[in-house]
Structures are given as structure tokens and as C-alpha cells.
């Protein structure tokens, strides 16, 4: 895949090359029935426009219940009332795909471990086992979810929670190893009332503060398909009792106890909020320009069939890329990814060397 000149060798120095558009901090090779494209086909789509990318599947499998949908085979969680269940083989599949690449192409990917149940106290053991079974492969864990609209209530077994010690065990271990973490947790419930405190915000902040040595990327800035940006009540000014989305984010960015937390702006559902109005776009530009080291771009595309599908999210953000300062744009699209994942690679390889069987 000639032409890529990014820095993918594990140093902590940021890449200064401008020969590619972005690094993808959030990419799913497979979907909710563990099907997708090959990593070789993904490389063709990346071409010279994408320097590096995370690589993970979906930790959940949609069950095909004949009692529920008959001969119709659902391929997405909204297409069936049947449950979802954790599919641990996804990690072996991702490792196998990665190991099928040449040494040079491997440098362009950062595979992530996702096939664990965050409500299970054995989740840590799963992650450790994957690292020792596939040394030299993984750079982090995620994307995994705790509270996710439509999804959480469909998962078979115990409901995951931000207060469950199982998730603390996972995040503590990630910090010990050096694994970067991509974490999906809706900030609020669907159809929340304006001016109300987001339901999951305080629990989420408390969890993040309990793990200051772990690099955590909060996926989608806590937003979802119908978990809209937090809105203040029209009758009151923005304050701690009547917040809006960007005030919440800025309060977190300025909190020294959360300096290890980053936000990704992946997913077309997030992009639509950002570019949906001139005011929303300007507010986003202001906060990213003010804190350019704390945001990452990712597509959150699942098993794209063609380049048009893959690059659609990046193209939606064209007004944002145009308006950010050159420094901020470079960091969000490229530099922050490289800094975070170069460090993760280095630390995880060192841990594996010390703990190999």
C-alpha cells in the first residue's frame, strides 16, 4: 500500500507527515453476526488516505431465534427482539486477521480486545489470556459498552453497570498493562428532559476517576442515536444545575482528576449533531480548538462494503476540518491517535515480554 509515510514504529513522537488524511480510532471489521470484510480489503479501502486504524469486531452476537423471526435472519440488533450474547471468539478472529498481514502492513493497525462480558469478574482473566495467547497483537480493549440505547437491555444475563466491580477490575488491569481503552457509555437515557442531570454522568465520572493510570477514550462523547446532546432548560442560564453537553465536556476537560480521559467524535450519528446547525458547529470548533490534545476522530464504520460507505463520516465533518486551526485539525485527525497508541504498543509489548509463559 505504497505512499503511507506515517510513524507506526512505536515511538512516542507525533507524525508530521501530511500525506494521508487521518488515522481511524474507531473501526469495526465485523458486524453483529460476526461477518464483514477481510483486513486485506480494508487495507485497499484505506489506501493512502488513512495512515493507521484500530481493528476490532463487535463483542456481541445477535441471536437468530426462529421463534422470533422465523426464516428471516437478523443481521443487526434492531432487526429482532431476540437477545444478544457475548461472543469471545471475536478476539481470536481479529488476531488471526492481523497475523495474516505482512510485517509492514501490521504497523498500520492497532487491534483491540472486545470479547469479554463487562459484568463478569472473569473479564480480566479473559483479557490476560488473550494477550498471552496472541503476543505482539493487541494495543487496547474496546469498543465495549455498559449503557447503550437499545443494546444493553437485549444482552443475555446480568446487566452491566458502571458500579460493578468487574468493570473496575478491567480498567485497573488495562492501566497495569498499558492497554488503551475505548469505552461506550451513553451519558443519558433516551428522550431525556431538558435541564435534567444526565442519568449516567456522575457514575461515569466516578468510575473514570477511580482509574487515573488508565488511558480511556469515551466513545462518541457519550452520545447515541437517540441519546441527544444534553440540553439546558430554555428558562435558565447554563450552570452546574442546568448543564448542556459542551459545558459537561469542558468541565471534564478542565478537571485534573480526568486528565487521562479523551473523547472520540466517531459515528455519523455524532457528526449529524456537530454539523446540524451553525451554532452547534461553532461551539464544537471552539472547544476542540481550546483542548486539541483531548479529541480523536474515528469513523465507527462497520464492515464497509466500499470506500464511499467508509469515508462518509469523514466527509460529513468537512466543515469542522475546514474551520479548526491547522494544529487542532492535525491532532484530532492524526497526532492524538499516534501518541496514544504508540505508547500503548510500547507498554503492552513490554508487559507481554515480562509475563510470557
Query: 336 or 235, which is more confident?
Result: 336
pLDDT at 125 exceeding the cut of 60? yes
Look at residue 1 in the predicted model and tell me its pLDDT: 36
Q: What is the pLDDT of residues 265-278, one digit of tens each?
A: 999 999 999 998 89
Is there a domain that residue 216 lies in?
yes
Is there a domain that residue 1 lies in?
no
321 phi and psi angles, rounded to 5 deg: -60, -35
pLDDT at 191 exceeding the cut of 80? no
Pull the grid cell for residue 316.
460529513
Q: Whole domain around residue 253: which residue ranges?
A: 22-355
pLDDT at 242 exceeding the cut of 70? no
Mean per-residue pLDDT, 191-217: 91
Look at residue 18 in the predicted model and tell me its pLDDT: 57
The model's pTM is 0.91
Mean per-residue pLDDT, 15-41: 88
Q: Are 263 and 232 in contact (CB under 8 A)?
A: no
Is there a domain that residue 101 lies in?
yes
Mean per-residue pLDDT, 331-346: 98
Nearest to 336 by CA among 285, 266, 263, 280: 263
pLDDT at 9 exceeding the cut of 50? no
Mean per-residue pLDDT, 54-68: 94
Look at residue 192 in the predicted model and tell me its pLDDT: 74
Which pLDDT band holds residue 308 (cuts at 50, 70, 90)? very high
Nearest to 246 by CA among 261, 269, 263, 266: 263
Nearest to 81 by CA among 65, 93, 94: 65
Q: What is the pLDDT of residues 309-331, one digit of tens each?
A: 999 999 999 999 999 999 999 99
Nearest to 301 by CA among 291, 312, 290: 312
Nearest to 57 by CA among 103, 26, 24: 26
Look at residue 6 in the predicted model and tell me its pLDDT: 52
> Angle at which helices 336-355 and 123-133 pack, to 10 degrees?
80
Is there a domain that residue 10 lies in?
no
Mean per-residue pLDDT, 31-56: 96
Strands 22-24, 84-86: pairing is unpaired
Look at residue 55 in the predicted model and tell me its pLDDT: 98
Is there a domain that residue 343 lies in?
yes
Look at residue 346 in the predicted model and tell me its pLDDT: 98
Please give the mean pLDDT across all residues of the chain: 90
Mean per-residue pLDDT, 225-243: 58
Mean per-residue pLDDT, 210-216: 98
pLDDT at 295 exceeding the cut of 80? yes
Is there a domain that residue 4 lies in?
no
Look at residue 357 in the predicted model and tell me its pLDDT: 64
Q: State percent of the chain over pLDDT 90.
A: 77
Pull the grid cell for residue 250.
469542558
Is there a domain that residue 332 lies in?
yes
* Low-confidence winner among 2-11, 27-36, 37-46, 167-176 (lowest mean pLDDT): 2-11
Number of domains in the chain: 1
Residues 126, 144: Cα–Cα separation, whole Å: 14
Mean per-residue pLDDT, 57-71: 94
Mean per-residue pLDDT, 39-53: 98
pLDDT at 232 exceeding the cut of 50? no
Reduce the DSSP state of residue 23 to 3 states and report it. Answer: strand
Query: 239 or 90, which is more confident?
Result: 90
Is there a domain that residue 2 lies in?
no
Q: Write the CATH number for 178.
A: 3.20.20.140
Look at residue 154 in the predicted model and tell me its pLDDT: 85
Nearest to 344 by CA among 217, 218, 215: 215
Amino acid at each position: 500500500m505504497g505512499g503511507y509515510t506515517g510513524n507506526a514504529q512505536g515511538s512516542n513522537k507525533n507524525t508530521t507527515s501530511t500525506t494521508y488524511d487521518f488515522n481511524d480510532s474507531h473501526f469495526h471489521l465485523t458486524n453483529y453476526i460476526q461477518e464483514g470484510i477481510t483486513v486485506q480489503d480494508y487495507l485497499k479501502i484505506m489506501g493512502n488516505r488513512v495512515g493507521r486504524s484500530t481493528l476490532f469486531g463487535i463483542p456481541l452476537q445477535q441471536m437468530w431465534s426462529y421463534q422470533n423471526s422465523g426464516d428471516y435472519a437478523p443481521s443487526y440488533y434492531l432487526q429482532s427482539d431476540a437477545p444478544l450474547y457475548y461472543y469471545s471468539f471475536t478476539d481470536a478472529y481479529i488476531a488471526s486477521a492481523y497475523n495474516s498481514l505482512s510485517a509492514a502492513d501490521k504497523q498500520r493497525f492497532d487491534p483491540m480486545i472486545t470479547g469479554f462480558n463487562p459484568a463478569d469478574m472473569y473479564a480480566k482473566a479473559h483479557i490476560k489470556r488473550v494477550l498471552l495467547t496472541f503476543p505482539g497483537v493487541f494495543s487496547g480493549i474496546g469498543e465495549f459498552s455498559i449503557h447503550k440505547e437499545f443494546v444493553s437491555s437485549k444482552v443475555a444475563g446480568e446487566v452491566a453497570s458502571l458500579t460493578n466491580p468487574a468493570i473496575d477490575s478491567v480498567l485497573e488491569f488495562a492501566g497495569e498493562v498499558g492497554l488503551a481503552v475505548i469505552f461506550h457509555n451513553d451519558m443519558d437515557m433516551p428522550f431525556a428532559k431538558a435541564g435534567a442531570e444526565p442519568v449516567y454522568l456522575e457514575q461515569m465520572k466516578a468510575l473514570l476517576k477511580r482509574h487515573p493510570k488508565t488511558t480511556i477514550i469515551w466513545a462518541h462523547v457519550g452520545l447515541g442515536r437517540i441519546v441527544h446532546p444534553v440540553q439546558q432548560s430554555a428558562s435558565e442560564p447554563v450552570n452546574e444545575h442546568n448543564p448542556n453537553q459542551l459545558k459537561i465536556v469542558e468541565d471534564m476537560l478542565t478537571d485534573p482528576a480526568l486528565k487521562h480521559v479523551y473523547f472520540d467524535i466517531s459515528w455519523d450519528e455524532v457528526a449529524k449533531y456537530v454539523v446540524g446547525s451553525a451554532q452547534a458547529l461553532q461551539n464544537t470548533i471552539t472547544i476542540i480548538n481550546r483542548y486539541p490534545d483531548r479529541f480523536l476522530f474515528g469513523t465507527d464504520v462497520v464492515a464497509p462494503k466500499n470506500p464511499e460507505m467508509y469515508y462518509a463520516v469523514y466527509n460529513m465533518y468537512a466543515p469542522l476540518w475546514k474551520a479548526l486551526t491547522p494544529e487542532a485539525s492535525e491532532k484530532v485527525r492524526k497526532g492524538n491517535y499516534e501518541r496514544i497508541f504508540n505508547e500503548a504498543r510500547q507498554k503492552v509489548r513490554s508487559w507481554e515480554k515480562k509475563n510470557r509463559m
